[in-house]
Amino acid sequence: LQKKPAGYTPQVIQQFPSKGDHGYKQSKDTEERLKVIPRFCFPDSEDSAPTLELKSETFSFVLTGEDGSRWFGYCKKLLPEGRGKRLPEVYCMVSRLGCFNLFSKILDEVEKRREMSPALVYPFMRSVMEAPFPAPGRTITVKSYLPGAGDESIELCRPLDSRLEHVDFECLFKCLSVRHLIRVCASLLLERRVIFVANSLSTLSKCGHAVVATLYPFTWQHTYIPVLPVSMIDIVCSPTPFFIGILSCSLPHLQDLPIEEVRWSKLCLWGTLEYWQRNQMIF
């Protein structure tokens, strides 16, 4: 995050592979998607501030291209080592494949190395990038060096069917009762507009992906943004079907927007739910 007069703005500190790497070329569509990634890594950047403590959390987002193809962003938000108040950092991996558990494991290893030294992250990521991506149902082994432990082998397993196996349904059923979940699924099957609201990035993304998975064998073909940056909040005014997740801190930005009829679901652990229709709260 970089300090600006109006608050903090997310920026890329390091990119791998970097634009200067030999043989690395980006298409125009790729460049456009990469430009918006920092905003998805810090969807609440306007409310960010230096802090002494921050519990690391893993979350994900989805980018949809002009041709309808989707990129999945897997993020780990943490507070860098140091003294005094510090700004959080986000490590993000982008892939065309939805394998949340696999990339979460990689990000956990990144966090472990980041706590020792930022210099350990780059060689580990190079080892991961150079390893062949496993076929469905297969496992690969990535070797890397860890100070104090020597050479370390990490096994990465890709699920046979990532549409279901990478999904965490536990969080969803803690936040929504079966009755409310059926209502949300019915709204999506009827191609309506649905918005999830949560205090936590991880809760928001986990529940969003889990609900989409419950539609299996059907798929959600319309706008799908499990975590919407506050800087893009106008998207909720779209007259077309969408499934969007926003943080609770973004709610004040919606008060004066001309929002169409929407099903709102506030996600709280252990089943607390509120929802609105046409901007009227219903309990």
**Mean pLDDT by 10-residue block, N- to C-terminus, for the chain (283 residues)?**
75 76 64 84 84 88 81 90 88 86 88 85 86 86 81 85 74 89 94 93 91 91 92 91 92 85 77 44 32
Q: What's the CATH code of the domain at 7?
A: 3.30.450
Residues 179 and 138 in one domain: no
Residues 152 and 23 in one domain: yes
Give the HSE-up count for residue 260: Cα atoms under 13 Å, Cβ half-sphere.
Answer: 11
Kindly state the helix (H) or strand (E) to which residue 247 belongs, with its residue range: strand 242-247
Residues 229 and 104 in one domain: no
Residues 110 and 91 in one domain: yes
Last residue of a domain, one of 142, 160, 178: 160
Residues 151 and 219 in one domain: no
Residues 12 and 70 in one domain: yes
Residues 154 and 53 in one domain: yes
Which distant-in-sequence residues (6+ apart) come within 8 Å of 43 by Cβ?
61, 201, 227, 228, 229, 230, 247, 250
d(CA 89, CA 91): 7
Last residue of a domain, one of 99, 126, 160: 160
| The predicted structure's pLDDT at residue 164 | 66
- DSSP letters of 164-177? HHT--HHHHHHHS-
d(CA 185, CA 179): 10
Number of compact structural domains in the chain? 2
Residues 185 and 219 in one domain: yes
Q: Which residues pair with 266 in a beta bridge?
A: 197
Last residue of a domain, one of 117, 133, 160: 160
Residues 144 and 176 in one domain: no
Residues 69 and 35 in one domain: yes
Global confidence as pTM: 0.82
d(CA 173, CA 162): 20
Q: What's the CATH code of the domain at 206?
A: 3.40.50.11500
Q: Strand 280-282 vs strand 275-277: parallel, antiparallel, or unpaired? A: antiparallel
Angle at 53 between CA 104 and CA 168, to 5 degrees: 25
DSSP, collapsed to helix, strand or coil, labels residue 8 as: strand
d(CA 279, CA 254): 10
Edge-to-edge strand order for the sheet containing 70-78?
Answer: 57-64, 70-78, 89-95
d(CA 252, CA 269): 22
Domain interval for residue 39: 2-160
| The predicted structure's pLDDT at residue 271 | 44
Q: Which amino acid is at 116?
A: M
DSSP 248: G
